[in-house]
Chain A
Amino acid sequence: MTVSFDVNGRKVTVDPAARTTLADCLRHDVGMTGTHVGCEHGVCGACTVIVNGEAVRSCLMLAVQADGAKITTIEGIGAGEELSPLQLAFKKHHGLQCGFCTPGMLTTLHALLSQEPDADEERIRDVLSGNICRCTGYIPIIEAAMEAREAYRAKAGES
């Protein structure tokens, strides 16, 4: 089943089976292995990607359903080797340890803060309740998100 979508600004045409999730398609057909597959039933949040500006669980979406969509994965958050302000804040606050949940944390927060750069701590905590981390205890992740807001505010001010 031929499907075309835009991944991190690059047009991609793939031929996944109907049952292939967007997560598996991104990893195996597109070669973007930064998207992590954890629970495969929509609970852990590790596979979160941004589809048409909205954070979604890519294990709960079929690749064929993404036909024509604009997708941002963790590979598209920074600029090449250069880390984004959100990624730098994670580094500074030790917002990761093993790193398995990190792509989902970053994509979720990137979608949230792009839309709501003034999100308060309660809102950030509520949104991150959909992402499970077994290392950090979440506190450094919240701290990183709080600090990164400034960069998103500045970006919102430009446009």
Chain B
Amino acid sequence: MKLPTFDYHAPTSLAEAVALLAASEGSARPIAGGQSLMPVMAFRLAQPSALVDLRHVPGLDSIEVLAKEVKIGAMVRWRMIEESRELARVVPVLAAAMEHVAHYQIRNRGTVGGSLAHADPAAEFPALAVACDAVIDVVGSKGARAIKAADLFTGALETCLADDEIITAVRVPVWPKRRRWGFQEFARRRGDFAIAGIVAFYDLDQQGLITQAHIGVFGATDIPRRLPNAEAALNGQEPSEALFETVGDVASGEVNPQSDIHASRDYRRSLVGTLTKRALAQAAK
């Protein structure tokens, strides 16, 4: 369907963008790549009075690798993450997961900030941010604040962002060398929304035992989140097929998925277990 009518602004500074959003009293929406917002508007699931385009706002489109963290600007597109060698070196799972994000053409436009703000429960990047303990930088009319990724998402397509707040960057801690990781997603066709997905990583201590286990789930829950019981079952253990089997079962029992047209609750729950096992096996390779 054709888009509903709206006013269009392309401010050249963050302050101006925030002011436009604040003046609209919640009826305007920022637009970055538009790869989620445009379809949502085409379906009339959103009818903003105005779009505040961030494309002329400077300083939002770079990837900066610092000593302890990597700062990814909100307007960084998937293609940039996919191709950033530096990022692949410091947080390898990010680049590797990109092949699962929608399709080629959409990865040329879709952005980090847009995906986080859209908060689709089946999206990859929100889950990566949560699993990697990322921090989201936002700016609004009341000033700047940093939000833990795990606190950003409050429900399916819902975040704790105020109407006049704009995501400016996501900061991801740099990984220790030799961190083990796996990323697994299941969708019926390539590029489709995930029915379930798992991001898993851990370190090995000097005795070869698992430490710092992180398991994040998406698609099977209303918000992306970590699975603390499954993580606890991993920590302190020696990696083995049997252990991963057990942890998969724990993960399965730790989610309470919804049934929908794409998959039943039981199917999704089972999938979470299977994908957890596969992600851990991938990590151990």
Q: Which residues of A contact B (CB under 8 A)?
A: 1, 17-19, 21, 24, 40-42, 45, 48, 54-57, 59-62, 64-65, 108, 112, 126-127, 129-130
Contacts and interface: CB of A to CB of B under 8 A. Distances in A.
Interface stretch (B104-112, B118-126, B128-136, B241-249): B104-112
Nearest to B109: A56
A73 to B, nearest CB: 14
Interface in B28-77: 34-35, 38-39, 42-43, 51, 53, 55
Contacts of B10: 64
A17 to B, nearest CB: 7
Interface residues of B, number: 30
A108 B105 contact: yes
B190 A126 contact: yes
A60 B8 contact: no
A130 to B, nearest CB: 3
B191 A60 contact: no
A130 B7 CA distance: 30
Contacts of A108: 104-105
A18 B104 contact: no
A18 B10 CA distance: 11
A28 to B, nearest CB: 11
A126 B104 contact: yes
Contacts of B190: 126, 129
Contacts of B35: 42, 57, 60
A19 B44 CA distance: 13
B5 A65 contact: no
A65 B34 contact: yes
Interface in B58-104: 79, 99, 102-104
B267 interface: no
Contacts of A24: 2
A1 B7 CA distance: 10
A60 B109 contact: yes
Contacts of B109: 54, 56-57, 60-61
B164 to A, nearest CB: 20
Q: Which residue, of A24, A42, A56, A59, has the highest number of chain B Cβ atoms within 10 A?
A: A42
Contacts of B191: 129-130
A55 B107 CA distance: 9
B177 interface: no
Contacts of B4: 19
B104 A127 contact: yes
Contact of B3 (A19, A55, A65, A112): A19
A112 B105 CA distance: 10
A65 B42 CA distance: 17
B39 A60 contact: yes
Nearest to B191: A129
